[in-house]
Every structure is written in structure tokens, then in C-alpha cells.
């Protein structure tokens, strides 16, 4: 862990040096700098080559299926809303499950989820399909009693023929694993598009001067040493409170999975794509305001007090990452 932090500090120093020689008015140099640490979002997600249209359509139907919760009141979309320009979240600090039990972690967005190295705040699920297993059976979430109950519910609801069509090689196509595979296939279609992508494609006018300044400010202060890659995050875990401790010390993060003390307070670095629309922020949903979370992240992770100008510039840049491609239900897209 110490080696990882040391590596991030080296990247911080390089970021500061590089930012001094790039002007917000030099679009070509700024684009080159951004390409080296961020890049652009790929057109397709890993694993999507094996997804058929029928599998995606089945997964889409399952995403909104309330039969997959104990009392038939909730679907995946309840906590990860994508309808009506929804951003894959519910806007709550923490969510309440089907049985009325309050969770303790903020619901992450389902947009771009499949690009991340793992799922959940504690990186406990290694794939979208593995992640889908958890909420269906978790008493704090959809609270089904067993995998068999999920299968029985869907069979009664008329899904048998759909599963047979999507998974024709299986002896019993309607099974729990295939439920999660279909859900994963649909989620692999949830890919954002934003003005930063347009700038990276060559449109210098896609970003304002303040937004360009915000990117340089992010890099100058070392934020991109963790918030890197196409999503600007989601690629590894990092301690929350590297320099100044985070107030919530009850949630130990990855350590609760591994039992290792050196994993205390390790959480997956959250992606910044569409972050302006996915609050509240932090793993516990403790902060509602984007400018406040920018300032607090600088304090907890880097030990710096960002100026009002820096906070405003960074926030402006983050808003250039707002998704411009809302979800369109299959019935409307045909």
C-alpha cells in the first residue's frame, strides 16, 4: 500500500510540472495531455462482443422487473434509475430495500459500470454478472430468499420462453446465472457521451475556458493520479483519507471483505464521468454539493485547501462530463 501511495506522489509531481507548461488556451496541448491520462470512452464495453440483441432485450426487461424483489415493489431501476433522463442512481444518501431496511452505502451509477475494474464500493464483485447476484439476495436490498425463488418468480411471470430463446444450448435456460448474465448484457449498453468527448474528438468550442482551466487544475493538484483512465476513476482502490482522515470510521471498506488491517478504508476510486448528476457523494452519501466534495477530496486525499477559484474551475470541468445520451426504452427506440 505504501508503494502505491509513493507512486501516486510521483505522478502528482509530474502533473504539477506538466500543468505549468500547458495553457488553457492551447487546445492541442491540452488535448494531448488529456489523452495521455484519460483518453476517450470506448464505443463498446468489454464482454459485449458476446451479447446478442435478444440477450440485451431480456436484460433490459429484467432491469425493470419488480418480481425480482421480495415483496414485488422494487427493481434494479428503483435504486439505479435510468428512466426519464435518470443517471443510474436514486439521489439518496443510502437506499432503502424492499423490506424497509436502510443500506449504509450510496448506490453507484449503472452508467459505464462495465468499464470499471470491479463493482461495488469495496470492489467485492469482479464483473457485472457477479455484482447482480448480490442485491437480488441481500436482505437490505431486493431480499429474495434464494436463487430458486428468483427462478420461480420469473417462470410464473412468463419468462421461460424468452430464456430458452436467449440461451438455447442450456438444459434449463431459466436459471439464476443466466438472469445475472442478461442483466450484465443490458448494463453493457449504458455508455455515456459528453462534451469532453466532443473536445477530445477535435471540437475546441465544446469546452469553455473555465472548463479547460478546470482540467488543468485537476492535473496540477494531482487529482488525475487517481482519477485517470477513460472514466477518470474506477480502475483501482485507494484509501479514503490518505492525508486527513475521513469522518466516517465505521465503514472499513475493503478490509471488511479481506479482514486485513492494511485494507482499512480502501474504496474503489469513483469515476468522474457524469459525476455532477450522481450525488450524494462518497461511499456513505454524506455530501450533497459537488463543490463541497471537490474541496473535501482535496483535503482528505492531498492535504490541500483548494482556493475558491480552483474549486469553481474543477467543478465546471466536472460538469462538462454530464451525460448527453439518455437511456431510451426499447419500445421507443424501435
Residue 272 and residue 235 in contact, taking contact as beta carbons nearer than 8 Å: no
**Catalytic status, residue 141:** yes
Cis peptide before 280 (omega within 30 of 0): yes
How far is it, in rounded angstroms, from Cα 249 to Cα 255? 12
How far is it, in rounded angstroms, from Cα 286 to Cα 297? 12
Q: What is the DSSP letter of 66?
A: G
214: nearest Cα among 19, 54, 63: 19
Among candidate residues 60, 141, 211, 213, the one labeled active-site is 141
> Which residues make Cβ contacts (< 8 Å) with residue 255, sequence separation at least 6?
261, 262, 263, 264, 265, 266
How far is it, in rounded angstroms, from Cα 188 to Cα 220? 33
DSSP track, 77-132: HHHSB-SSS--SB-SSSS-B-TTS-B-SSPPPP-TTGGGSSSBSTT--BSSHHHHH
> Which residues make Cβ contacts (< 8 Å) with residue 240, sequence separation at least 6?
246, 253, 265, 266, 267, 282, 283, 300, 301
Give the Cβ contact number of residue 113 at 10 Å.
22
Residue 18 and residue 32 in contact, taking contact as beta carbons nearer than 8 Å: no
11: nearest Cα among 257, 222, 294: 222
User: Strand ranges (DSSP E) for the chain?
Assistant: 237-239, 266-268
Q: Which three cell numbers stand for residue 105?
A: 452505502
The residues that are catalytic are 141
Amino acid at each position: 500500500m505504501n508503494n502505491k501511495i509513493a507512486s501516486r506522489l510521483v505522478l502528482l509531481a509530474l502533473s504539477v510540472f506538466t500543468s505549468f507548461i500547458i495553457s488553457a488556451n492551447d487546445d492541442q496541448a491540452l488535448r494531448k495531455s488529456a489523452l495521455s491520462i484519460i483518453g476517450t470512452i470506448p464505443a463498446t464495453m468489454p464482454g459485449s462482443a458476446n451479447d446478442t440483441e435478444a440477450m440485451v432485450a431480456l436484460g433490459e426487461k429484467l432491469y425493470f422487473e419488480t418480481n425480482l424483489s421480495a415483496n414485488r415493489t422494487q427493481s434494479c431501476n428503483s435504486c439505479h434509475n435510468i428512466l426519464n433522463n435518470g443517471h443510474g442512481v436514486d439521489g439518496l444518501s443510502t437506499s432503502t430495500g424492499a423490506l424497509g431496511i436502510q443500506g449504509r452505502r450510496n448506490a453507484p451509477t449503472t452508467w459505464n459500470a462495465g468499464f470499471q475494474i470491479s463493482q461495488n464500493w469495496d470492489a467485492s464483485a469482479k464483473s457485472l454478472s457477479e455484482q447482480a447476484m448480490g442485491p437480488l439476495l441481500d436482505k437490505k436490498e431486493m431480499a429474495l430468499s434464494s436463487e430458486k425463488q428468483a427462478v420461480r418468480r420469473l417462470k410464473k411471470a412468463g419468462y421461460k420462453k424468452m430464456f430458452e430463446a436467449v440461451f438455447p444450448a442450456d438444459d434449463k435456460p431459466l436459471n439464476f446465472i443466466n438472469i445475472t448474465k442478461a442483466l450484465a448484457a443490458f448494463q453493457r449498453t449504458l455508455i455515456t457521451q459528453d462534451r469532453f468527448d466532443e473536445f477530445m474528438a477535435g471540437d475546441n468550442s465544446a469546452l469553455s475556458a473555465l472548463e479547460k482551466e478546470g482540467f488543468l487544475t485537476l492535473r496540477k493538484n494531482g487529482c488525475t493520479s487517481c482519477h485517470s483512465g477513460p472514466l477518470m476513476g474506477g480502475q483501482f482502490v485507494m484509501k479514503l483519507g490518505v492525508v486527513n482522515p475521513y469522518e466516517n470510521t465505521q465503514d472499513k471498506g475493503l478490509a471488511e471483505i479481506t479482514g486485513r488491517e492494511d485494507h482499512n478504508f480502501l474504496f474503489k476510486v469513483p469515476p468522474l464521468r457524469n459525476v455532477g448528476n450522481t450525488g450524494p457523494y462518497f461511499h456513505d452519501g454524506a455530501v450533497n454539493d459537488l463543490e463541497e466534495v471537490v474541496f473535501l477530496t482535496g483535503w482528505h486525499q492531498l492535504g490541500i485547501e483548494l482556493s475558491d477559484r480552483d474549486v469553481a474551475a474543477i467543478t465546471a470541468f466536472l460538469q462538462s462530463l454530464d451525460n448527453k445520451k439518455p437511456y431510451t426504452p426499447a419500445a421507443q427506440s424501435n
